[in-house]
Structure 1
Amino acid sequence: MSESKYFDLHITGLGYLNRVREVSPKKGASFYACDIVALHGSADAPDKTRFDCRVSGQEAERLIKAAKSYVDEDRKVLIGFKLGDLYPDLFEYQKGEKAGQTGVSLKARLLRIAWVKVDGETVYTASADSTQEPESSAA
């Protein structure tokens, strides 16, 4: 049996954590999801890009579950993150002034959280051994 090979595309950055939720699909196991509003560009006036993320991995899920209470209290939760498997998802607005228009949502898997800050105070930093990259299986 031949070994599968993959090419990885990862997005790393920092952003605000929002909409932490447990998703229970009709088929399959439940999972956690969240939105990350990533910051990029000038530090004086950063641009923002929203990612709708499925949480992957036990450590990332543990951290998201722990951060959910802060998000629910409307506290500012800033995280360092790594995303993978980015893809666009088209949808149609159902309500509001954009009703009937097509929109796009950027979907990804939240693979890793490097650090978490709540209201500017660091509450989690990944250990040095968890920051190592997995060996690439790309050709």
Structure 2
Amino acid sequence: MSTISSDDYYFDLHITGLGYLNRIREVKVRKGEPFLACEISAINGVSNAPEYRRFDLRVTGEEAKTLVRRCTKALKMNKKVLVGFRLGDPWVDTFTYSKGAKTGQLGVCFKARLLYLSWIMVDGTLVHKRLSTDQSTGADKSASDLGSKPASLGPGAPYI
């Protein structure tokens, strides 16, 4: 059995970007607690010919969980949900296609943890924006943390 001491150090690997949020779901596992998952199709490359990288994500940040759940309604209404994001601890998972034209072929899937969303746009309308880092505490603030905020950024924002 190992213990973690104050002398242990960790190396974080983060991915930041923007992409389209999709496929929000609760994942039930045989052993352990269910968890919130989603996909983000991250936009990559030249703006006039972008490429997309699909990430299958476990949502781990508490604020991210709340925000992702609030986006469910917009996705059910077939709205485009574009987000700024930070992912942590990425890895690649392999699988075998079980149906369709690629049945039996090996596939790969990018996986990571969704740590937080810095902003959310629903069909081009900004509905959430994380404010800059608070210099005194080093903590990021969200527009939803403020007492006075524009109506389009509050909990009653359209679609989320």
How high is the TM-score relative to the length of structure 2? 0.79
State the shift of 1:26 in Å.
Answer: 1.4
Q: 2:62 aligns with which of 58, 62, 72?
A: 58
Q: Do structure 1's residue 83 and structure 2's residue 87 form an aligned pair?
A: yes
State the shift of 1:72 in Å.
Answer: 1.7
Which residue is 1:71 aligned to?
75
Which residue is 1:125 aligned to?
129
Which residue is 1:45 aligned to?
49
Percent of aligned pairs with the same residue? 49
Kindly provide the amino acid, as one letter, of the partner of residue 75 in structure 2: V
Kindly provide the amino acid, as one letter, of the partner of residue 130 in structure 2: A
CA distance in 1, matches of 2:41, 2:6: 39
**After the TM superposition, which segments of 4 or more aligned residues of structure 1 sit over 4 Å from their partners?**
none
Kindly provide the amino acid, as one letter, of the partner of residue 33 in structure 2: A
Kindly provide the amino acid, as one letter, of the partner of residue 102 in structure 1: L
State the shift of 1:116 in Å.
Answer: 0.1
CA deviation vs aligned residue, 1:86-122 (integer Å, no higher than 9, x gap): 0000000000110000000000000010000000000
Which residue is 1:137 aligned to?
none
State the shift of 1:36 in Å.
Answer: 0.2
CA distance in 2, matches of 1:65, 1:44: 31
Which residue is 1:103 aligned to?
107
State the shift of 1:128 in Å.
Answer: 2.4
CA deviation vs aligned residue, 1:39-98 (integer Å, no higher than 9, x gap): 011111101100000001210000000011111221100000000110000000000110
Report the CA distance shift for 1:133/1:12 in structure 2 as closer, same or farther (over 3 A): farther
Uncovered stretches (5+) of structure 2, i.e. residues with no partner: 141-160
Q: Considering only aligned residues, what root-mean-square deviation do their CA atoms show, in Å?
A: 1.8
Higher relative contact order (CA 8 A, sep 6+): 1
How high is the TM-score relative to the length of structure 1? 0.90
State the shift of 1:2 in Å.
Answer: 4.0
8 Å contact from structure 2 (residues 133, 139) kept in 1: no
Kindly provide the amino acid, as one letter, of the partner of residue 88 in structure 1: V
Kindly provide the amino acid, as one letter, of the partner of residue 74 in structure 2: Y
Q: Paired residues, what number?
A: 134
CA distance in 2, matches of 1:129, 1:87: 28
